[in-house]
Amino acid sequence: MAQQVFKRPESLKDNVFHYCPGCGHSIIHRLLAEVIDELGIREKTVGVPPAGCAVLAYNYLDVDMGEAPHGRAIAVATGIKRCRPDLVVFTYQGDGDLAAIGTAETVHAANRGECLTVIFVNNGVYGMTGGQMAPTTLPGQKTTTTPGGRMALRDGHPLDLSRMLALAAGSVYIERTAVTSPKHIIKTKKAIRKAFKVQMDGQGFALVEILSACPTNWKETPIEACKRVEQVVATQYPLGILKDATHEPTADNP
């Protein structure tokens, strides 16, 4: 009798993803659903999706979800979590959402130590709107608004917001991972799981930045795009733990 060793997580709805071939978003959706299943928190989780390609994340994740304006997901999540600290609240945001239009909300939530789990998907472009330059776009990278490539002196430098957030006193756990190979995907899942646990233990602000490919807007095949993340993007945004101030909960310091 064959035993099934890999199946669809229960917290993932049966809908077919609307994402392009090779898109990292749907891998991350699946990992989130797996973590929610494994932690047994589906019935007390609330998600806040972003504007952008993942705006329809609620078509896939079978948990309560509430929309936020572009960039404001963490502010909305703050309102939810402060009113219902017993819920597990996460945001799901792209680089434009979190590191451009939502920079203020992100920095201040981290600084206040809001007890939230933030999933930050960095693919270096605005995907939904057609591949414009993002704050994370690499120097020289061609986008639809940097047709000759991003020039730092004209268009700004790539912004490593996660590193800035690690400086905020209220942030507890920040890790950068990728979803470009099975090895990295396993690491990403572990990081997401930890970011949820940090919140569930009431420790504070946890964020996982996930380097992800956007083959369509990069005009590469999915395999080329994944290679590019590992060989090029990850040199600008090195993978690994940027901050881990977590502690084992004790009676004195829960």
Partner 1 sequence: MNKQLMRGSHVIAEAATRAGCRFYAGYPITPQNELPEYMSARFADLPDATFIQAESELAAINMVMGASMTGVRAMTSSSSPGISLKQEGISYMAGMELPAVVANIMRGGPGLGNIAPTQQDYFQATRGGGHGGYRTIVLAPCSGQELVTLTMKAFDLADTYRMPVILLGDGLMGQMMEPVSFPDPIDPADLPKKEWVLSGARGRDSRLIASLQLDPVKMEERNWKLVRKYDTISQHETDFESYLLDDAQLVIVAFGTAARIAKGAVNRVRGEGLPAGLFRPITLWPFPANPLRSLAASIKQILVFEMNTGQMIEDVKMSVGDISPVHFHGRPGGVIPTPVEVAEVITGLMR
Partner 2 sequence: MKKGFIKIDSQRCKGCGLCVSVCPKGRIRIAEALNLKGYHPAEFQEDEMDKKGRCNACTLCALICPDVAIEVFRE
Residues binding partner 1 (CB under 8 A)? 42-46, 48, 55-56, 58, 61-69, 72, 75-84, 87, 104-105, 107-108
Whole-angstrom distance, CA of residue 46 vs CA of residue 114: 15
DSSP state of 246: -
CB of 142 to partner 1, least distance (A): 29
CA distance 62 to 10: 8
Partner from partner 2, partner 1, none contacting 97, C-beta within 5 to 8 A by type: none
Judge contact between 50 and 251, C-beta under 8 A.
Answer: no
Given the rule CB under 8 A, which residues bind partner 2?
A: 2-8, 12, 16-17, 19-27, 30, 181-182, 185-186, 215, 221-223, 226
Cβ–Cβ under 8 Å, residues 217 and 131: yes
Residue 214 near residue 124 (C-beta atoms within 8 A): yes
CB-nearer residue toward partner 1: 68 or 165: 68
Q: Name which of 58 and 173 has its Cβ closer to partner 1.
A: 58
- Terminal C-alpha separation, the chain: 46
Question: Which lies closer to partner 2 via its Cβ, residue 151 or residue 186?
Answer: 186
Q: Taking CB within 5 to 8 Å according to partner kind, which of partner 2, partner 1, none is near residue 126?
A: none
Residue 186 is encoded by which pair of tokens? 């396993």
**Which of 6, 251 has the CB closer to partner 2?**
6
- Partner from partner 1, partner 2, none contacting 221, C-beta within 5 to 8 A by type: partner 2
Residue 113 binds which one of partner 2, partner 1, none, with CB within 5 to 8 A depending on kind? none
Measure the CA–CA gap between 73 and 47, rounded to whole angstroms. 9
